[in-house]
Amino acid sequence: MNPIVVIGNGVASVAAVEAFRKYDKETPIIIFSDEPYHAYYRLRLSSLIGDTLNLDKLYIRKPEWYRELNIQVRLDNKVIGIDTEKKSVVLENGDTVFFSKLLIASGSSPFVPPVPGADLPGVFSIRSLDDVKRFNDYIANKNQGAVIGGGLLGLETAWALAKKGKKVQVDVTKRFIAWDTVADIDGTIKGYNIYHNKDDKDEKISTVTATEFEIPEGNL
């Protein structure tokens, strides 16, 4: 029987194959990932900014988990084509693999605003472990930078950089942010309460204490 093929090896893929294996322990499963690592918690990436990476702490499931469940993971193998009639996928290395069922769990990628300079060296978006590695290498001897986007991830990144002693400017528009500043009695900014919805104060999701942020006047 042809295997079940899964494109992508993120949390969605792991959850899907784990659920499937509860009912079917036999059908071969092959997961293709274009990354060189087993599935890891992407949401922990912000906390690794400026730090050394410990893969063992990041894995959603240890590599042996896949073996125990009889799941073949082919890392560094990008799927570049799907033929739904022949029921096959084509890999970047030219191989063709036939499937009985196909699951596409390929995630998404960050939206980079189409502004001049977005492709210059030193402009990063962070989605993967390799992005963090490249970013960390780049910032090692830099002291200041800007984060575009004041949502949760933007603030997490700014906070991680601020903790490393970098001077960070957060650029936001009102549309993207829902927060309150938390100020001392003398008006010194102590941090930000972040809301899903600025008009609904019951929906507070977190407080970021970020005294080192520099918020450009007029941008809030």
Ligand X SMILES: Cc1cc2nc3c(=O)[nH]c(=O)nc-3n(C[C@H](O)[C@H](O)[C@H](O)COP(=O)(O)OP(=O)(O)OC[C@H]3O[C@@H](n4cnc5c(N)ncnc54)[C@H](O)[C@@H]3O)c2cc1C
Query: Binding residues for ligand X, per CB under 6 A?
Result: 7-13, 32-35, 42-43, 45-46, 78-79, 105-107, 126-127, 153
**In the complex, what is the shortest distance from the CB of residue 33 to ligand X, in angstroms, rounded to a whole number?**
5
Name which of 9 and 29 has its Cβ closer to ligand X: 9
Query: In 10 A of CB 138, how many CB atoms?
Result: 14
**In the complex, what is the shortest distance from the CB of residue 24 to ligand X, in angstroms, rounded to a whole number?**
21
Name which of 39 and 172 has its Cβ closer to ligand X: 39
**In the complex, what is the shortest distance from the CB of residue 110 to ligand X, in angstroms, rounded to a whole number?**
7
**In the complex, what is the shortest distance from the CB of residue 183 to ligand X, in angstroms, rounded to a whole number?**
26
- 3 alpha-carbon distance from chain centroid: 28
Name which of 7 and 172 has its Cβ closer to ligand X: 7
* Cα 135–Cα 10–Cα 136 angle in degrees, nearest 5: 10
Compute the chain's Rg from CA coordinates.
Answer: 21
Name which of 136 and 189 has its Cβ closer to ligand X: 136
DSSP letters spanning 74-124: ETT--EEEEETTTTEEEETTS-EEE-SEEEE-----------TTTTSTT--
Choose among 157, 176, 178, 181: nearest CA to 168: 157
Name which of 13 and 168 has its Cβ closer to ligand X: 13
**In the complex, what is the shortest distance from the CB of residue 21 to ligand X, in angstroms, rounded to a whole number?**
17
Choose among 60, 82, 76: nearest CA to 11: 60
